[in-house]
Structure 1
Amino acid sequence: MPKSLLEQLPEIVARGRQQAEKILESLEGRHRISLQTREWVLPSKDTRDSDWIAAANRQAHLGEEGATDWTNRLIYGDNLLAMAALLAGDEHTPSLRGKVDLIYIDPPFDSKADYRTKVSLPGGPSRPSMASGALGLLPIVELEQRPTAMEQFAYSDTWSGGTASYLEMITPRLILMRELLSDSGSMYAHLDWHVGHYVKVVMDEIFGKDFFANEIVWQRTGAHNDSNRFGNIHDILFFYGKTNSRSFFQTHTPYDEEYIQERFRNAEEETGRRYWLNTATAAGPGPARFFNGELRSPPPGTHWRYSQETIDELINKGKIVFSKTGMPYVKQYLDESPGRPVQSVWTDIKMTKSGAERLNYATQKPEALLERIIRSSCPEGGLI
């Protein structure tokens, strides 16, 4: 009886580690892989100054190893070989091992779909539809563009060995990605229901489940009328750090009017500024603090969330209000609030359906999605 996929997983991860280790061992060898430049993309005049500043920031981030000038790169090829080249480095680019601040991947989803380009050309005797041409009516024949081996691998999301072969493909790549990450780096893997749960188990093994930060649910579209099931309208992103020291920057979404009316119910008579009263305590024990010269202990099992210096400053600014029982609360003003912190369910970013951004590629992701990830997990001047 053949092994189940769950039984095969340990063997798949072990083989993936062996493959990745061979690549890592070869980095110091004479025949290591390097990147070949096929095309230079020069910055336009109006962006040249900002590009120069960005390049200087990258060099400062890399230290002395980054002294050689190098530019942003779009790499065409198998990413397993590309990552081997980036890990090895060459005379033009320092090794990026342990240097990358953020990795986002949008791999195949094991969806059994084929995204290779199809084109329609005049010619061929077998199609009933007709088109008008210079020589009269010609039959239309649909031809499938013959892909290169690399394109077939990249754009045909079908796997001869099923999900097991998909996991065989992605496991060594995830291991090399972890090698590229800095200690404060972050990793996002964008998947869906087809294979995401299996990849999550593999990533727990490679990155460590203690370094798993979030499963993000992204609602990519509106309602679907899926037959015999609930409409499938979301993707998932697995967010990991290489260590617990990963960079993270809180992002926000604007408050809606209903939330403002519900939360910011109070208004100052003199200024009209709207505010709500936030508790000054948090869970966990802590020391007493002085409020207007009186030493106050927090309720049992809690601590004052502010230092004595901050408490004094808030009192001087009139931002602390005492309840009838003497409990202090802190005024949180609407005009000083950046908005709601982004949570793990993202419903405000939709698929790009039209406009200059839309390229009519079936699995294209919106720029706003990438912008949120970058703003949340990449420091200024970082490497992505």
Structure 2
Amino acid sequence: MKSLLEQLPSIVAEGKKEAERVMERAESNYRLGLQTRELVVPSRDSNWQDMFRQKPQSAAPASDPNTLIYGDNLLAMAALLAGSDSAQSLRSKVDLIYIDPPYDSKADYRTKISLSESQIEQRPTTIEQFAYSDTWVEGTASYLSMLVPRLVLMRELLSERGSIYVHLDWHVNGYVRAILDEVFGKQNFRNEIIWTYFGFKRSTTRKFPQKHDTIYSYFKNEDYYWKTQYKPHSAEYLNPHSPSKSLISLS
């Protein structure tokens, strides 16, 4: 049996072919529409006009509402690439993509839901509901086969100044990094961001604990959009410094 590393080239090749089939359907008369289930109108107290201000040049027109899509993102991206009679195709129009896919952790996950009781004096009842499964028929190979075509379609959606951030953990980040290099180009890799967290309940008797996730950052090409982030200095730092030096770069 081939190792996962030996299977990787064929996994990537098959994933690209699947993405090509999706794009061919998007360019044909075939349309996979999105059905509207709910419209959310901002409250009167919210400054909803800010939602449409300071859009990058390649973003959708200010009159277009934000859209929340529920469903398989492969089908959702097919619909976004194809467009419809009421919405233009978003091919090469998305400036930012952030994804937090399953981690191939080989576990099922549940979420806790609170149910209000009819009697006010009683406490809400908490039940567990199935959230999603992170188990794969053929293990990590199946997981990577799922991920490759989706990454290819995301690249098609990205604008020429667009960027993507892929959030992973220790289970598969090495394999996915190699796939990202193939899909987006190794030269377009920009950063490996480490998100640390506390893990007090993790066993340390035979190993160091897992205490961080990884976020890979890629851009579509060299002419990418980037805005340096700042935060104010603390009062302790500013005193006795000049107020004119009240910002610090996070880059």
Distance in 2 (alpha carbons) for counterparts of 1:72 and 1:40: 10
Amino acid at match of 2:102: P
Would you say 1:241 and 2:219 are equivalent positions? yes
SS of 2:45's partner is helix
The structure showing larger relative contact order (alpha-carbon pairs under 8 Å, at least 6 residues apart) is: 2
Amino acid at match of 2:35: Q
Tell me what 1:204 maps to.
181
TM-score (norm 1): 0.56
Amino acid at match of 1:244: E
Q: For 1:130-279, list aligned pairs within 5 A.
A: 155-221=132-198, 224-252=202-230, 274=241
Amino acid at match of 2:162: G
Give me the CA root mean square deviation.
3.1
Are the aligned partners of 1:255 and 1:340 in contact in 2 as well (CA < 8 Å)? no
Shift of 1:244: 1.2
Amino acid at match of 2:48: D
1:254 and 1:227, CA in 2 relative to 1: closer, same or farther beyond 3 A? farther
Distance in 2 (alpha carbons) for counterparts of 1:118 and 1:335: 48
Tell me what 1:339 maps to.
248
1:74 and 1:214, CA in 2 relative to 1: closer, same or farther beyond 3 A? same
Shift of 1:37: 0.7
Distance in 2 (alpha carbons) for counterparts of 1:340 and 1:226: 36
Would you say 1:4 and 2:12 are equivalent positions? no
Identity %: 51
> Which of 103, 112, 123 is equivalent to 1:109?
103
Would you say 1:77 and 2:71 are equivalent positions? yes
Shift of 1:61: 4.9
Shift of 1:53: 5.7
Tell me what 1:86 maps to.
80
TM-score (norm 2): 0.83
Tell me what 2:15 maps to.
16
Q: Name the larger-Rg structure.
A: 1
Are the aligned partners of 1:12 and 1:168 in contact in 2 as well (CA < 8 Å)? yes
Q: Which runs of 5+ in 2 are unaligned?
A: 115-126
Amino acid at match of 1:35: L
Distance in 2 (alpha carbons) for counterparts of 1:115 and 1:203: 26
Distance in 2 (alpha carbons) for counterparts of 1:74 and 1:168: 25
Shift of 1:144: 7.6
Q: How many residue pairs align between the two structures?
A: 240
Distance in 2 (alpha carbons) for counterparts of 1:256 and 1:217: 24
Tell me what 1:348 maps to.
none
Are the aligned partners of 1:273 and 1:335 in contact in 2 as well (CA < 8 Å)? no
Shift of 1:31: 2.2
Shift of 1:339: 2.0
Shift of 1:114: 0.8
Distance in 2 (alpha carbons) for counterparts of 1:161 and 1:80: 20
Would you say 1:96 and 2:73 are equivalent positions? no
Deviations 1:83-111 (A, max 9, x none): 01011111222111101110000000111
Shift of 1:232: 1.2
Shift of 1:177: 0.4
Are the aligned partners of 1:254 and 1:340 in contact in 2 as well (CA < 8 Å)? no
Amino acid at match of 1:210: Q
Distance in 2 (alpha carbons) for counterparts of 1:46 and 1:255: 31
Deviations 1:20-76 (A, max 9, x none): 0011011122222111111111221223xx43464476697557xx48x53211111
Tell me what 1:382 maps to.
none
Distance in 1 (alpha carbons) for counterparts of 2:210 and 2:231: 24
SS of 2:218's partner is strand
Distance in 2 (alpha carbons) for counterparts of 1:24 and 1:114: 32
Distance in 2 (alpha carbons) for counterparts of 1:59 and 1:253: 22
